[in-house]
Structure 1
Amino acid sequence: MKRLISKGLMFGNLVEVSSPALVDRYNRALKHLTGNTTGLNDFHVDISGYSPEIGEELGDPLYLNPNGCNRQFILLTTEQKTAPLLNAKFSFSRRALRDFIEQNETKLFALVTRDAVAGELMNSVLDLSSPERLFDIHRIVVEADTTGGDVKNARALQEKIEHFRDDDDAWWDDVLIAEMIGLAKQTGDVTRNPVDLGSFEMKVPDYWTAHFGGLYIFRGVEHPAAIAAGDKAALGELPVKFLLGMDQPNRIAKFLELNDLAEPIVKARGIDAAAILRQKMDFILVDAAAEQGHDLTGATRRDLRMLARRIGSDLPEAYHGLAALLRWAEGGGPWPRIASDHPAYFYTLRAAAGPRRDLVNQLLAELTPLDVRQLFICHKELFYTLYRGWGEQKREFVAEFLAAEYQVDKAGTRAALFGHEPGMEEPAPPPEPARPSRRRDDLVARVGPWGAVRR
């Protein structure tokens, strides 16, 4: 993993904490939330204030996320909003934190100049002793305050000010006036500079969780379902009509089609489908070549083409399926019939535009793990897990590729892959569950992406 860290592909874009004042504020907040403190004089934090260095010091990578259920956070600066979220257990956690910071940025900026802001993402479930509890999560409420209680005190002062204004006899209430003066010394003038963070709530009808082997929950679509990445049988009975497993590609494909959640890359607008297909083929080739012990050091695209000719008969079926589709896309071949049980099928799809785009792209990344670029962008937790099991040749190639072609232009790469849509870091919040319109007049939507369509 040191290779990834050195290239900025792991623990990248974290916020450095090195000044004694910020370290002291962090320790006060850490003591307030967990009862622990750190002896480190400098460290780095993610959007939630989690520090991998402190996690290693404490021997607890979940020191701000007990039970992996209700994520606690420490804000030292509003600049944390651009940092990643490490050890994510739910797909909605980073979005909730970022939206909360952006909604209250001015107030938070004023608060963190004096103290750290500590809080928690409350989801109404305190433990996840069984998979059924996941379906009790419907909304996220963010609660936060400074370690000195500035927000609490500001609310109390505001209530006293309103009472003072409304009660004609309050002018003679010396106790009330003394309490107001005492609170004002701590909070400042809340009438001109309000510090109340207000309430923040976000509904989460659809999300991914790392718990129980990984589970994708879709409740806000026309045909709800859950998709298990782990052992489906071990989950038992769940309060959802359809529970699908990763070993059921036909059913997953039907689910995506019925809910208009995915579209063929070759029919998507705003992207170079042929270039994307070639890159996916290269990734599949690299995996096969690494398995066979071929040297990939410094391999260029020309080197990969030569390698493909050399081991062509040993390449997996997914490679040949994408090659056939590429020939069609470039006008040199017939339309390939790639059914949902074909190894190349999910490699030919991308998420359709909409509020569930990022969640579906994460699901597709898990279904197509050889596409390491999409895996890294859409499902970093799984990328790091699989990376540990790769051979040295593949590790080196993938790290060099991502550093050279992704890190230098993240926005451009995302636009090339997913079209001119909102960036992956800022997904739009899902709307209220509704019945989406069905494009019955669209032939592709009626027969599926690989039905009786002909070029």
Structure 2
Amino acid sequence: MKRLIEKGLMFGNLVRVDAPALVERYNRALRHLGKPQTTQTEFHIDISGYSPEVGDEFGDHLYLNPNGVNRQFILLSTEQKSAPLLNATFSMERAILRSFIEENEAQLFSLTARDAVAGELEDTVYELSSPARLFDIKTMVVVADTAGNHVAEAEKLGALVERFRTEPDAWFDDVLIADMIGLAKKTGDVTRNPVRLKATRFETQDFWSSHFGGVYVFRSLPHPAAICMGDRLALGALPIRYVFGVEQRNEIAKFLQINELVEPIVGARGFDAGAVLRQKMDFILVEAAARLGLNPGDGSRRELRRVAQDLGERLPPEFQALAALLRWKEAGGPWPRIDSRHPAYFYTLRAAEGPQKALVNQLLSELSPLDVRQLFICHKALFYRLYADWPEAKKAYVADFLEREYQIDKAGVREALFGAEPAMSEEDAGGQAAPRRVRPSRDVADLMGPWGKVLGGGR
């Protein structure tokens, strides 16, 4: 992983903590959360305040995320809003934290100027002893305060001020006045500068969880379902009608199409399908060359064409299908029949516009893992896990490519691949817009995929 770290592709955009005052505030927040203190004098933190260096010291990289649920967080600065979330166990956690920081930026800026803000994403589910418990997660509430309880004491002072203003004999209540003065010394003038956090409740209908091998939950759709990336049968009974395993490609394709969650890349408006197809083909060639011990040279397209010639009949079916699609797109070749059972099928799709767009692109990246660029952008946890087992030649090619083609213009690349990002005003507090209604009257049996009717029986 050293190569990724050096190129800023891993642990990038973390916030550096090296001032003694900030380290002390961090330790104060750790104590507030019931954690041990760190002896580190310099470390880096993500949007939740998790530090890889502190995790190494504790021997526990889930020290702010025990059991993988109800993630705790520590805010030392509002600058953390732009940092990534490491060790994510739910897809909506970063969106919730970022939205919370942005909605309360002025208040948090004031609070973090004197203390750390610590808190928790509470979802009322404190352990996931069974997969069915995932469906008990419907709302997350952000509970936050400084290590010195400034928010709680400000609320208490506000209540005392209200009593002082409304009760007839409050002017003669020495105890009330003394309490107000004592709290005001800690909180300041809450009448002029109220300390009140807003946007703390978030709906969580559709999400991904890393638990149980990875589960995608889609509940807000006209045709809801869960998609399991691990052992589907091991999940047992779930409180949702349809549960698909990763091997059920046709069923997943039907689900995505009937809910209008995807679109073929060759038909997307303002999309350079030819360039994207060529790049996907390059990634597939690099994988094939690494697997067969062939030398991809410098990884240039010219060298990769030589690899394709060397492979001959051994060219992967994904490559051949995308090549046929490219010939149809640019050279008037015959229309390729790529149904949902074909290994190239999910490489030909991208998420349609809508509130589930990011979640669907993450799912597609798992279903088309040879597209390493999409995998890195949409599902970094899986990218890092797969990267660790790649041959050295593929590691070098992918790291160099991402540094050269993605790092210099991340927003531009994401827009070119997936379309414009939705404005925050179009989203709810959880980073997801209101569910888009689709036409529920269509018969699943008559469903048309991008290459014709979706085939049945693809279990």
TM-score by length of 2: 0.95
The residue aligned with 2:11 is 11
Q: Distance in 1 between matches of 2:119 and 2:287?
A: 43
Code of the residue aligned with 1:107 in structure 2: it is Q
Q: Are 1:430 and 2:429 an aligned pair? A: no
What is the alpha-carbon distance in structure 2 between the residues aligned to residue 372 and residue 17 of structure 1? 32
1:346 corresponding residue in structure 2: 346
For structure 2, the residue ranges without an aligned partner over 5 or more in a row are: 455-459
Mapping of residues 144-159 of structure 1, within 5 Å: 144-159=144-159
State whether residues 17 and 45 of structure 2, in contact with CA within 8 Å, keep that contact through their aligned partners in structure 1: yes
Counterpart Cα distance in 1 of 2:43 and 2:20: 11
Q: Hey, what does 1:2 align to over in structure 2? A: 2
Q: Determine the C-alpha separation between the residues in 2 that align with 1:400 and 1:57.
A: 31
Q: How does 1:4-403 map to 2 (within 5 A)?
A: 4-198=4-198, 200-403=200-403
CA distance in 1, matches of 2:48, 2:142: 12
1:432 Cα offset (Å): 4.9
Structure 1 gaps, min length 5: none
CA contact (8 A) 1:219 1:433 kept: no
Q: For 1:407 and 1:383, how far apart are their aligned partners in 2?
A: 16
State whether residues 205 and 430 of structure 1, in contact with CA within 8 Å, keep that contact through their aligned partners in structure 2: no
After TM superposition, the structure 1 stretch with the greater mean CA deviation from structure 2, 144-153 or 428-437, is: 428-437
- Residues 423-451 of structure 1: per-residue CA shift (max 9 Å, x gap): 99x976334557434697xxxx9522111
* Equivalent residue, structure 1, for 2:457: none
Contact (CA 8 Å) 2:222, 2:259: kept in 1 or not?
yes
Helix, strand or coil at the partner of 2:452: coil
Decide which moves more: 347-356 or 165-174.
165-174
Q: Aligned AA for 1:451? A: G
Percent identity of paired positions between Structure 1 and Structure 2: 63
Q: 1:394 aligns to what SS in structure 2?
A: helix
Partner Cα distance (2:432, 2:420) in 1: 19
Q: Which residue of 1 aligns with 2:451?
A: 450
Distance 1:346 1:98 in 2: 30
- Tell me the matched-pair count: 448
Deviation of the 1:296 alpha carbon: 2.8
Task: Provide, for residues 299-351 of structure 1, a one-character-per-residue CA deviation record: whole Å limited to 9, x for no partner.
Answer: 21111122212213111111111111111111421211110001110000000
- Distance (whole Å) between structure 1 residues aligned to residue 147 and residue 453 of structure 2: 63
Q: Deviations over 1:365-402 (max 9, x none)?
A: 00000000000000000000101111111111111111
**CA, structure 1 residues 271+421, in 2 after alignment: closer, same or farther (shift >3 Å)?**
farther
Q: Which amino acid in 2 is paired with 1:338?
A: I
Q: Distance in 2 between matches of 1:160 and 1:103?
A: 27
- Alpha-carbon distance in structure 2 between the residues aligned to 1:101 and 1:439: 41
SS at match of 1:247: coil
Quote the Cα distance in structure 1 between the aligned partners of 2:435 and 2:265: 27
The offset of 1:82, in angstroms, is: 0.2
**Residue 118 of structure 1 contacts residue 147 of structure 1 at CA under 8 Å; is this kept in 2?**
yes
Q: Which amino acid counterpart does residue 62 of structure 2 have in structure 1?
A: L
- State whether residues 123 and 137 of structure 1, in contact with CA within 8 Å, keep that contact through their aligned partners in structure 2: yes
Deviation, structure 1 residue 421: 3.1
Report the aligned-residue RMSD: 1.8
For normalisation by structure 1, the TM-score amounts to 0.95
- Give the aligned residue type for 1:106: A
User: Structure 1 residues 79 and 212 mapped into 2: Cα distance closer, same or farther (>3 Å)?
Assistant: same
* DSSP 3-state at the match of 2:129: coil
Per-residue deviation, residues 216-258 of structure 1 (Å, max 9, x unmatched): 0000001010000000111000001011001010000000011
More displaced 10-residue stretch of structure 1: 334-343 or 374-383: 334-343
In the alignment, which residue of structure 2 is the partner of 1:412? Answer: 412
CA distance in 2, matches of 1:211, 1:299: 36
Aligned-partner SS, 2:191: coil
Write the letter of the residue equivalent to 1:337: R
The answer (yes or no) to whether the contact 1:50–1:73 under 8 Å persists in 2 is yes
Tell me which amino acid in the other structure corresponds to 1:216: Y
**What do the CA deviations read for 1:266-299 (whole angstroms, capped 9, x no partner)?**
0111210111111001100100011111223422
